[in-house]
């Protein structure tokens, strides 16, 4: 068992994982009035702390992630530095990552059911779409690209929550200068074809990676995996993907189409946004009658990992008794009076005063030794954001189990295709915690009380001096916000999501300007800059205005013109599409085109109120015919793979991506051309090779 140690204002309870850049701990954070909660502390490894490149990458992760506030992204609380250690404090997720679920399925044969797998994929897509759309203070998109979507970075909590984590190698517009062309960052088996070639990537690269993760969830098999890294990269480069239904008969054709579109080799043929993918996955769940919810996910997780949950609850009972003094010393709280009475032994009471100088009894092996305190470089405190409800009790709550092995930053420090390693001891060296037996509490209590009185007198003296000499300051301002309607809200204060219903109470914040934003589906966004004065208690009454719901109009042209077109499963004639179809605004609509020998085209459209939009769908043939004649005869390569000699004729050319042709023969210059089939299915090249070296 890992030994808890003080770490500034935190107690590091146990190490979860360690990898090439950082280590992650389950930790206990403390607040006022004895409040405590579990967090995850991600700390850069000591031997990398002196390397500015790794420190900058670590800080960049925090800068990117702290701006993201979404139900499906693990929340980052703060970036701090304790002594020489940079760390990130973030949300602790009690559950398993997808890699652990894959390993569980291989051991037991119990795979995540298709509806639950799609539910996970939809939630991750929602979080990813939010990150992709995130804008900065200037209103411009941040251009965030995760670049490391993988099973280790998708967490499933025992309470049914789905969280995307680890923006450690994410790229944003403000940090794009740090990324060099040709440098591979991420896990090879979850990269996109354009990413492994070192080309510039955009948000569609994340969509390909997510498609890989979902394909593996549905099939239980690695999608791109070779005997070595080179072969794995070659498989990704080719991007030849079989439908998931080939390995799992429970996967229907419509789901095959969604996954294959996400995994298209050509970025232009993929979903153009993660939100489109999320909409299609959610639509599939709805139309297939699989109304999956977080409750179903909770039931599945809790029924499979009963032992893990029980073990973690037992650990948390011990962790709940750990407290951190103002001097940074670590103590374990003695048993409550009720527990002491139940265990009272008259012989112990009789012998209690015989040898008050005897050392305390040896701690049981189950109790970890605790380490010496270290000073903290305190970070700036945030304003208190509360709701009109009772303050939590002093000690850390027990209601939610905290199974070991997961935290919001877990995946960054895990190997790409294996389990994380752990160490049995933490630094600095341990010293024994002070835990007093019932028979000796009286004498020690008198000493402790005397020391506390002396310390309190000193503190009061210093406080009185500052009160007499400091400039008088007014009390902190507060604010109450009442909103109509009262529920299903998204309330943000100074850019941070704080509540989903009215009223909102903001206590003990700073004077000055504060940003308030409130959103609700079907209503116009409300934004206001609120000026607060010291000592003021402001109350705002806000009534949201309904958004315009007038219909929009969609005009569609499609090639080939005889394709079958549907909007939300309703057939549309060419005449209707050319004239324009009146459709409801503000909601996702599925536009689908199908034709024999062509790949289905699916696109999600959301019309603004009163909008008239024109859309063009160009369907891609499944296969094409390529004929090549050359003078003289030469070897033919397609996408860097030799396929024959001229004269060449192949009617099964994969048109899902670019077709790069190369013809070579000794004594002549090589001929190279990327063939564009457009909306046709046939191309004929006649080549006259030039003599050369």
Q: Which residues are catalytic?
A: 148
* Distance between CA atoms of residues 344 and 346, nearest Å: 7
Contact 473, 466 (CB under 8 A): no
Q: How many CB atoms are closer than 10 A to CB 381?
A: 9
Question: Could you say which DSSP state residue 577 is in?
Answer: H
Nearest-CA neighbor of 66 among 134, 147, 157, 141? 134
* Distance between CA atoms of residues 310 and 298, nearest Å: 15
Give the pair of three-digit tokens for residue 666: 């000794």
* Distance between CA atoms of residues 213 and 591, nearest Å: 25
Q: What are phi and psi of 94, to 5 degrees?
A: -90, 105
Nearest-CA neighbor of 87 among 157, 21, 136? 21
Q: What are phi and psi of 687, to 5 degrees?
A: -120, 135
Give the pair of three-digit tokens for residue 58: 């670590």
Task: Give the distance, in angstroms, between the CA of residue 430 and the centroid of all CA atoms in the same chain.
Answer: 35
* Distance between CA atoms of residues 138 and 529, nearest Å: 15
Which contiguous run of DSSP H or E holds residue 512? strand 512-519
* Distance between CA atoms of residues 525 and 517, nearest Å: 7
Task: Give the distance, in angstroms, between the CA of residue 518 and the centroid of all CA atoms in the same chain.
Answer: 24
Contact 423, 46 (CB under 8 A): no
- Bridge partners, residue 553, by sequence: 582, 612
Nearest-CA neighbor of 156 among 27, 297, 305? 297
Exposure string of 160-177, with b = 16+ CB inside 10 Å and e = fewer, is bbbbbbbbbbbbbeebee
Residue 458 Ramachandran class (φ > 0 left, ψ -120 to 50 alpha, else beta): alpha
Q: How many residues does the chain have?
A: 693
Helix axes 203-219, 114-133, angle to 10 degrees: 170
Exposure string of 426-464, with b = 16+ CB inside 10 Å and e = fewer, is beeebeebebbebbbeeeeeeeeeeeeeeeeeeeeeeee
* Distance between CA atoms of residues 130 and 73, nearest Å: 9
């Amino acid at each position: 068992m890992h030994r808890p140690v003080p770490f500034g204002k935190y107690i590091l309870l146990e190490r979860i994982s360690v990898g090439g850049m950082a280590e992650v701990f389950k930790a206990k954070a403390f607040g006022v009035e004895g409040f405590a909660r579990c967090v995850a502390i991600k700390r850069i490894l000591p031997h990398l702390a002196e390397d500015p490149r790794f420190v900058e990458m670590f800080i960049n992760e925090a800068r990117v992630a702290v701006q993201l506030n979404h139900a499906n992204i693990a929340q980052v609380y703060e970036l701090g530095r304790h002594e020489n250690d940079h760390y990130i404090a973030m949300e602790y997720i009690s559950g398993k990552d997808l890699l652990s679920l894959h390993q569980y399925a291989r051991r037991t044969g119990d795979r995540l059911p298709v509806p639950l797998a799609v539910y996970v994929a939809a939630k991750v897509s929602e979080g990813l779409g939010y990150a992709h759309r995130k804008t900065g203070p200037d209103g411009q998109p941040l251009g965030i690209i995760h670049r490391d979507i993988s099973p280790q970075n998708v967490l499933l909590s025992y309470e049914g929550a789905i969280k995307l984590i680890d923006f450690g190698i994410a790229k944003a517009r403000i940090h794009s200068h740090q990324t060099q062309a040709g440098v591979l960052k991420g896990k090879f088996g979850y990269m996109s074809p354009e990413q492994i070639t070192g080309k510039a990537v955009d948000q569609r690269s994340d969509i390909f990676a997510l498609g890989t993760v979902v394909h593996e969830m549905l099939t239980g098999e690695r999608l791109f995996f070779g005997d070595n890294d080179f072969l794995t990269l070659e498989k990704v480069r080719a991007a030849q993907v079989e439908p998931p239904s080939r390995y799992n008969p429970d996967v229907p054709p419509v789901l095959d189409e969604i996954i294959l579109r996400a995994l298209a080799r050509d970025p232009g043929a993929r979903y153009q946004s993660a939100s489109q993918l999320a909409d299609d996955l959610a639509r599939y769940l709805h139309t297939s009658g699989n109304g999956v919810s977080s409750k179903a996910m909770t039931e599945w997780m809790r029924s499979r990992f009963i032992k893990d949950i029980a073990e973690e609850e037992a650990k948390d009972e011990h962790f709940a008794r750990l407290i951190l003094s103002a001097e940074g010393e670590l103590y374990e709280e003695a048993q409550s009076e009720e527990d002491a009475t139940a265990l009272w032994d008259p012989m112990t009471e009789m012998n209690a005063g015989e040898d008050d100088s005897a050392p305390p009894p040896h701690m049981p092996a189950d109790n970890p030794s605790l380490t010496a305190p270290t000073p903290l470089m305190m970070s700036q405190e945030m304003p208190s954001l509360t709701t009109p409800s009772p303050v939590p009790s002093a000690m850390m709550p027990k209601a939610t189990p905290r199974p070991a092995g997961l935290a919001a930053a877990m995946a960054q420090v895990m190997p790409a295709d294996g389990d994380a390693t752990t160490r049995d001891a933490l630094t600095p060296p341990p010293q024994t915690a002070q835990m007093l037996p019932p028979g000796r509490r009286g004498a020690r209590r008198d000493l402790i009380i005397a020391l506390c009185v002396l310390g309190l007198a000193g503190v009061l003296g210093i406080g009185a001096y500052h009160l007499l000499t400091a400039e008088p300051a007014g009390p902190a301002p507060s604010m109450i916000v009442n909103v109509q309607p009262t529920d299903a809200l998204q309330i943000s204060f100074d850019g941070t999501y704080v509540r989903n219903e009215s009223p909102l109470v903001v206590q003990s914040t700073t004077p000055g300007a504060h940003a308030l934003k409130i959103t609700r589906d079907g209503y116009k966004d409300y934004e206001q800059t609120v000026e607060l004065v010291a000592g003021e208690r402001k109350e705002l009454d806000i009534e949201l205005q309904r958004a315009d719901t007038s219909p929009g109009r969609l005009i569609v042209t499609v090639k080939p013109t005889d394709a079958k077109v549907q909007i939300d499963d309703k057939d549309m004639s060419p005449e209707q599409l050319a004239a324009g179809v009146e459709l409801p605004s503000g909601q996702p609509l599925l536009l689908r085109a199908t034709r024999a020998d062509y790949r289905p085209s699916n696109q999600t459209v959301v019309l603004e109120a009163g909008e008239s939009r024109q859309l063009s769908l160009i369907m891609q043939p499944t296969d094409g015919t390529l004929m090549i004649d050359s003078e003289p005869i030469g070897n033919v390569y397609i996408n860097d793979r030799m396929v024959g000699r001229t004269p060449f004729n192949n009617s099964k050319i994969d048109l899902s991506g670019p077709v790069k042709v190369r013809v070579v023969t000794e004594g002549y210059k090589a001929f190279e051309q990327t063939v564009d089939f457009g909306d046709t299915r046939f191309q004929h090249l006649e080549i006259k090779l030039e003599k050369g070296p």
